[in-house]
Amino acid sequence: MAYGFIQTWRRGGLEISTDPRRLPLRRVHALLAGTYWAEAIPLAVVRRAVKNSLNFGLYDTSQTGAAALAGFARIISDYATFAYLCDVVIAPESRGRGWGKWLMECVLVHPQLQQLRRWYLATLDAQPLYARFGFIPVPEPERHMEIRRSGLYRDAEFLHRWLAARGEVLTAHRPSR
Ligand SMILES: CC(C)(COP(=O)(O)OP(=O)(O)OC[C@H]1O[C@@H](n2cnc3c(N)ncnc32)[C@H](O)[C@@H]1OP(=O)(O)O)[C@@H](O)C(=O)NCCC(=O)NCCS
């Protein structure tokens, strides 16, 4: 959820906003579906993730409509002790212009994300990007554990089960009494 109030930053023709109503969901989905970690992610999963996160949309105001969304990042947090930074992506055609760094700057100065005990993220190869903002490799990895479900979105049954578990789709057959 977008905690507290909507935050906006402007730089030249760019804007970063935490307004969830402004986010073109299908464009967010398209950007994420092009990444190595969320390939084949269903739109319904992105919708729910966005609904329950603090979202940062980066908009190129020289573009119109959904194409204006040139970058995205998402925070999962209790706003008191911990924040998980994920789904950081800049549109392929807009990479290498410093937009990702500005997105990180804005995320890290968000007023509701100050004085947290821990920030966390996972990345394949963008460590140098995050290192400039103070992230370090987990010093004692043996203290950290996870449940990882790689390839989840490639499971044909996954979406049906995912929706059904949330009561969003009725099972096809309801036994008669
Ligand atoms: C990673 C990403 C968000 C960076 O955004 P960007 O706008 O292209 O990056 P910027 O122009 O702001 O510069 C990023 C800086 O980090 C460095 N960097 C380190 N690892 C990098 C990586 N894997 N990808 C991009 N930049 C990287 C760049 O060299 C650059 O440093 P410099 O300013 O000293 O040259 C973007 O390239 C992207 O969306 N990549 C695909 C998705 C992805 O890997 N996301 C991160 C997952 S954790």
Residues 6+ apart with CB under 8 A from 149: none
Q: Please state, in angstroms and rounded to a whole number, the distance separating the CA atoms of residues 107 and 120.
A: 13
pTM value is 0.92
Report whether 89 contacts 96 (CB < 8 A): no
Residues 6+ apart with CB under 8 A from 126: 88
CA dihedral 155, 160, 164, 170 (to 10 degrees): -170
Angle made by CA atoms 157, 86, 97, in degrees to the nearest 5: 120
Task: Pick the atom of ligand 1 nearest to 121's CA.
Answer: 48
Q: Does 92 contact ligand 1 (Cβ within 6 A)?
A: no
Instruction: Check whether 170 has a pLDDT greater than 70.
Output: no
* For range 137-160, the mean pLDDT: 88
Atom 36 of ligand 1, nearest CA residue = 90
If you measure from the C-alpha of residue 176 to the centroid of ligand 1, how many angstroms do you get, rounded to a whole number? 56
Instruction: Check whether 95 has a pLDDT greater than 70.
Output: yes
Domain limits of the chain? 8-139
Q: Does 125 contact ligand 1 (Cβ within 6 A)?
A: yes
Instruction: Check whether 177 has a pLDDT greater than 60.
Output: no
What value does the CA radius of gyration of the chain take, rounded to a whole number of Å?
Answer: 18
* Least reliable range by pLDDT among 44-53, 60-69, 101-110, 160-169: 160-169
Q: Does 129 contact ligand 1 (Cβ within 6 A)?
A: yes
Task: Pick the atom of ligand 1 nearest to 99's CA.
Answer: 7
Q: Does 32 contact ligand 1 (Cβ within 6 A)?
A: no
Q: Could you tell me which CATH number the domain at 8-139 has? A: 3.40.630.30
* For range 92-108, the mean pLDDT: 98
Per-residue pLDDT at 153: 85
Per-residue pLDDT at 110: 97
**pLDDT tens-digit readout, 25-84:** 999 999 999 999 999 999 999 999 999 999 999 999 999 999 999 999 999 999 999 999
If you measure from the C-alpha of residue 90 to the centroid of ligand 1, how many angstroms do you get, rounded to a whole number? 8
Q: Say whether 150 sits in a helix, a strand or coil.
A: coil
